Amino acid sequence: MKKEKIVTLDLTGCKYLGEIHQRIKKAFDFPSFYGENWDAFWDLLWSECDADKIVIMGAKTVSKELVPSIEMINEILQDLKEDRKKYGELIEIEIHS
Residue 46 Cα distances to 37, 54, 62, 85, 97, angstroms:
15, 13, 26, 13, 25
| Predicted pLDDT of residue 96 | 86
Give the pLDDT confidence of 8-64 residue by residue, as tens digits: 999 999 999 999 999 999 999 999 999 999 999 999 999 999 999 999 999 999 999
User: Distance between CA 33 and CA 68 in Å, rounded?
Assistant: 24
Please give the CATH topology (third level) of the domain spanning 6-95: Barnase; Chain D (3.30.370)
Measured at the alpha carbon of residue 45, what is the angle toward residues 42 and 51, in degrees to the nearest 5? 150
Residue 89 reports pLDDT greater than 70: yes
Domain boundaries, the chain: 6-95
- If pLDDT is split at 50, 70 and 90, which confidence band does 1 have? low
